[in-house]
Structure 1
């Protein structure tokens, strides 16, 4: 939310923060091996993050999200994060589409708010709204970054729910978002992300076009050395990079630069022993919200902690939970696995805390932006994984009146919940599968019974397995029902017709 600095500062003055409790310090003893950290259970992570958005906790009775548990207001950036999380929660099966507090109910509450909320006299949204009342929380207008970020989410929603297209289009027009299109800067990773919101909704101002075409200019811009990696001298931090990957469809050139940004952080870790996942987030020390710049164009340095009112800060950098988990969703290497292990103790029954600083101290804040991004990351990780495989025999033989078992193996690169069922081409065949539910990798047994009255011939039984999100894999087996067998009995008789001895 690069352009909303005054808004954040005002917001944070209203927040009552809980002081951090010191935790054990992370001691660097060389690079941690991949085996030192367990593989992440993406569905468990997604479910934990989504718990922040339970009604009465992180969501008001009006259906609007709280930016933090202690600050019951929101910006349009916050609202965009929530909308994007709803979409992914439905895709992952964390919530149904229908029913009270299902995806449709939540989406319509947000859209109804956008269709009726008070607007600034200039015809654009206010910067802050009260999530409980829906009324403005400040007298000032919104800004290009918050509006652009919400536009990205609304475009995603339009694609996800084409039945709501007309309503969404009317909302975009009513809220005057495109009035910000001539105020989009071209200074780095933030504008690159949120300028796409304007572009997707048809804005073609020079400012928007320049920002979305930033990648074409990066190789010719001056650079700065970040622990041996030459990075372009533009605003760089992980937050907009992660949102771009999860919510847009960036080209390969984008990943070229994203890989370099990752490498700079890996190199810093190797040189200093300090886990590094620089982004923006809340802090328990003043000024309570910071930007961790990988490239800081305001001070001309790399890896700084910064706030618009105080410039460079001497605060210990934080390994923000959302960045660590989201980086692992994209790159999934030994370094990102180490980051996940470093922050996993931030998980609570109601979402993830902001992070753990480099000294091992927990940042005890629960926020919508952290938990929304983690839901996005889980959906991305699951959907980019290799498709599931289901192996088993191609043919079994059985006689009428007989039964047999058929063994299958379900595999996936991730541990995902699975539901199995079996069908037969002839209703006379009895089929069942055990276990009917489990997690990958999973051994499955299909039980087949062939009643005595079934005619000999070839039949088919099919095992179907459904995995999150919306993945289906099946395997069919030919069942050859053989004709009943006969036993040949031979009796040897002697010349008198009596059974012969010793034959």
Structure 2
């Protein structure tokens, strides 16, 4: 069977290809469906494909860019090819239908008139193949070409020739007719535009995001554009506390928009994989949208989209032309009333980050936005009116088809990164996503606002023009154009904290005996960037975890320890250290106290109002934690020791607190709140008995002179055999019958060792805990770094224990339920063990496995799952603080980070000497000598290859 045509230079007629004539093994990689669609996902795919069925032009084999409107941009022609490939491998159409459609398409596409006989015009009439303008009016000369659209269709052609090699030579023949080199100049992409006098103007095309994506399409066919693949020129701008990369070539200087949207990053992710910088920048983009939701309650998923009313097309951006959350037209006219929750963006983020709760939330808001008769997905939901944007487009539905195919492939990129280039991550730049690693924080799921509902009102849909090119070439100089700006939505008012008064000129840190290597400095900078990312500028507080807006006393202790380490390692300047310290101390002096005694368990970092562990407001507070107070006391003690200029302010803060119930009869206590049947809040005070955490907090109280010997390290411990090692599981005691969910993890013992050093009994506990993990690796080759860690999905907290409930290597949730697949290898624990035991062969294995688990702009992730090796994407202050402390410990040649302080003339010690004054202060300053006399300097252990000395 033959169809006449002239697309090949050496043939006048070409054969129609069918599977029967060119047999292709169905078992190629394109057909490897390792994660079949669920019934719901099959419904989504069928609806998205039906759009193309409904908008198919039988005369040409093309499809409409928008519903019932016979216009097609080159970009949208690429969308159709991507959808056609996806629907075949998802087995929603037969091979015969695929061949019929593709044969018709290629036959007519090969015969399209090219702009200046060089490259496809920007837009064609889908019904007859004529060159048109964007209003679908015939244009004899054409509009020019878009290099970005060419890059898009080159990527689509590559997928077709790879997944359906029987069409390879046909596609090669089509590309052979094009003068692709005309769209490349100075190693960049160049589009063509027609001036009013009819002359053709070549203009550099592309801005950060789409430019790199399109250049990779060119690379697949052997055309290089290295400057287009480079990230420069760009800068970072802060949007909702997140550092976003933005092209510096904005509308004001180049007459072309530099918008930052979701789609280019989603396309790169599902087609080429989130390689290199894309892994960071895509995560940042999603994080900024999540934070806008957290601060405004408005679900946010922005990208460019068609509209069902004038102006018919809008760029909903994270940032554009100097404005955050700008919603603009091609001419940079602000149209904030048309900001969308974009269906395609929500689908993309959901399947690129399947474990991200916010991605699931925006997906849930749009997943049912389908045309009632199943004719495709609507473009989205208007933010302002909550009505459905009923525009139906090939862009939305084609991308959804690609995304579902990506999912069915087991989240394997459709093309992959082996044949293309990715720019290196540039040095510098900060970022920001937003945790509670308090040992007694239950870390509930973040509070969730209900998503906006779609309206049933159906406004009349006017015939829309075809969708615009993704990032058009720089337009010829135009007359004055509106540059009205969109104001960023205001968040709930934050409390403005007045820092404590200046205490003198900020001091530079002393020289370290063992300065960081270049690699170690990179790790330290990444860990510090967590605190940069999650800082509330108005209050100085840091969220404990990146996915919950809340700060605990334990988390603030982590922050202070990290702040001091960053100063000592010269990651931040003395001026920044002083500014942050004075603001945090100002906030601590102002936070509400539970029952007028001690700081509550959690605070909103914007308002300083008490919240529960899910970030939900609890005006009366939720009690106080003796463990958390101990963590902060240790950090404050270290701060005033290393920086005595802050000592008076620190002592004034802790003198406001009452210790009458937190330390009694030598035991550490905590307070919780329960509700009776009448919904009254009833505080209850119980002893703290959590192994390791109790000992750590007690040591911190001892620094301040408290007699707390029954909670400090001492006495006898019950043990159990794990891997042939007697591991402590709880303290044997007669002073309380209190029972808690006991589990043995590394965190508190490592913190104790880093900060206080190891006295003989703590050394024996520490060594047993470490040896059990090292022996497990030797017996099973399973890397083990047992810790309490946080993740971004249920159950949100995982205790990867050494032993719990008399079972070794059990993972538990906060509710005590086993999580057999949940065990994590902790990033922080790996760093700490390596810092403490750098010559040990097992710690060397641990550190090699963990050092790439970070986002340079957002900090270290919690770790990776033992069974799968998959990264646990949560980030916390606790993990990043311990990593910084571990690096500082290494730089100080393994000296404990908290040094004894013999100064007795500060307000705290003066108050103790004068009287108790009803606050439960220590009875005598004699306790002060405890820490000095028991200095661990003579007790440091050396462990080689896991053998106890």
TM-score by length of 1: 0.65
State the 1:285 CA deviation. 4.5
1:213 matched to 2:679? The reply is: no
SS in 1 for 2:825: strand
Question: How far apart are residue 367 of structure 1 and its match?
Answer: 1.5
Q: 1:307 is matched with which residue: 800, 809, 813?
A: 813
Report the counterpart of residue 156 of structure 1 in structure 2: 638
Query: Which whole-Å CA distance do the structure 2 matches of 1:213 and 1:247 have between them?
Result: 15
Q: How far apart, CA to CA, are the structure 2 residues paired with 1:186 and 1:163?
A: 36
Q: Which residue of 1 aligns with 2:826?
A: 320
Q: CA offset at residue 319 of structure 1?
A: 0.4
Please name the residue that 2:872 is paired with: 363
- The alignment status of 1:115 with 2:115, answered yes or no, reads no
Judged with a 3 Å threshold, the aligned counterparts in structure 2 of structure 1 residues 153 and 51 are, in CA distance, closer, same or farther, namely same
Where 1:74 maps in the other structure, the secondary structure is coil
* Cα distance per residue 1:440-461 (max 9 Å; x no partner): xxxxxxxxxxxxxxxxxxxxxx
| 1:372 corresponds to which of 881, 888, 893 | 881
Corresponding residue to 2:721 among 222, 225, 230 = 225
* 1:262 is the counterpart of 2:695: no
Q: Which has the higher contact order (CA 8 A, sep 6+)?
A: 1
2:78 pairs with 1:78: no
CA deviations 1:89-108 (Å, max 9, x no partner) are 1111111222xxx1111111
Q: CA deviation at 1:173?
A: 1.8
| CA deviation after TM superposition for structure 1 residue 257, in Å | 2.8
Is the CA contact 2:438–2:554 (under 8 Å) kept in the aligned structure 1?
no
Cα displacement (A) at 1:169:
1.2
User: Where does residue 701 of structure 2 map in the other structure?
Assistant: 198
Distance of 2:439 and 2:787 partners within structure 1:
15
Q: Within 1, Cα distance between the matches of 2:863 and 2:662? A: 33
**Distance in 1 of aligned mates of 2:855 and 2:438:** 31
SS in 2 for 1:384: coil
Quote the residue 2:443 is aligned against. Answer: 9
Matches within 5 A, 1:65-144: 65-98=542-575, 102-137=576-611, 138=618, 139-144=621-626
C-alpha displacement of 1:157: 1.0
Distance 1:148 1:247, change over 3 A: same
CA distance in 1, matches of 2:763, 2:807: 23
Aligned counterparts, 1:219-298, within 5 A: 221-234=717-730, 235-296=743-804
Shift of 1:193: 0.5
Alignment partners' CA distance in 1, 2:775 and 2:832: 19
Shift of 1:50: 0.8
Residues 222 and 239 (structure 1), Cα distance of their counterparts in 2 relative to 1, 3 Å cut: closer
- CA drift of 1:279 comes to 0.6
Query: After the TM superposition, which residues 474-493 of structure 1 pair with which residues of structure 2 at under 5 Å, given as runs?
Result: none
What displacement does 1:15 show? 7.7
SS at 1:103's partner residue? helix
Q: Is the 8 A contact 2:837 2:843 kept in 1?
A: yes
CA separation of 1:142 and 1:309: change in aligned 2, threshold 3 A: same
Residue of structure 2 equivalent to 1:335: 842
Q: Aligned with 1:14: secondary structure?
A: coil
Q: Within 2, Cα distance between the matches of 1:374 and 1:191?
A: 22
The 3 A distance-change label for structure 1 pair 257 and 177 is same
In structure 1, what is the Cα distance between the partners aligned to 2:809 and 2:607? 40
Q: Residues of 2 paired with 1:140 and 1:120: CA distance?
A: 8
CA spacing shift, 1:285–1:3, aligned 2, 3 Å: closer
Stretches of structure 1 that go unaligned for 5 or more consecutive residues are 17-38, 387-503
How far apart are 1:188 and its partner, in Å? 2.2
Give 1:287 deviation, angstroms.
Answer: 1.0
Shift of 1:284: 4.2
SS of aligned partner of 2:808? strand
Whole-Å Cα distance in 1 between the matches of residues 633 and 660 of structure 2?
9
- Out of 849, 852, 855, which is 1:348 matched to? 855
Superposed, 1:59-70 pairs within 5 Å as: 59-61=535-537, 62-70=539-547
Matched, 1:58 2:534: yes
Give the structure with higher Rg (CA): 2
Counterpart check, 1:188 vs 2:702: no
Extract unaligned runs of 5+ from structure 2: 1-435, 450-516, 612-617, 670-686, 731-742, 896-949
The alignment yields a C-alpha RMSD, in angstroms, of 2.3
Q: 1:385 to 1:4 in 2, by over 3 A?
A: closer
- What is the Cα deviation at residue 76 of structure 1? 0.3
The match for 2:327 is none
Does the CA contact (< 8 Å) of 2:446 and 2:548 recur in 1?
no
Q: Which has the higher strand share?
A: 1
Residues in 2 aligned to 1:117 and 1:81: alpha-carbon distance in whole angstroms = 18
1:43 alignment counterpart: 521
Report if the CA contact (8 A) 2:600-2:624 is conserved: yes
Q: 1:181 to 1:312 in 2, by over 3 A?
A: farther
- The change in CA–CA distance for 1:173 and 1:337 in structure 2 (over 3 A counts) is same
**Any idea what SS the aligned residue of 2:662 has?**
helix
SS of aligned partner of 2:802: strand
Q: Give the Å deviation of 1:223.
A: 2.2
TM-score scaled by length of structure 2 = 0.35
Contact 2:728 2:769 in 1 (8 A): no
How far is the alpha carbon of 1:123 from its aligned partner? 2.0
User: 1:124-148 CA deviation, whole Å, 9 max, x = no partner?
Assistant: 2121111122222233122111111
User: Matched residue pairs, number?
Assistant: 348
Closer/same/farther in 2, CA of residues 176 and 307 from structure 1, 3 Å limit: farther
The one-character-per-residue Cα deviations of 1:222-257 (angstroms, maximum 9, x if unpaired) are: 421010111233253111011112222332442333
Distance 1:127 1:229 in 2: 36
- Distance in 2 between the 1:46 and 1:156 partners? 20
Q: Measure the CA separation in 2 of the matches of 1:338 and 1:82.
A: 28
Displacement of 1:162: 1.3
Aligned to 2:505: none
How far 1:283 sits from its partner (Å)?
Answer: 2.3
Given that residues 111 and 168 in structure 1 are in contact (C-alpha distance below 8 angstroms), is that contact kept between their aligned partners in structure 2? yes
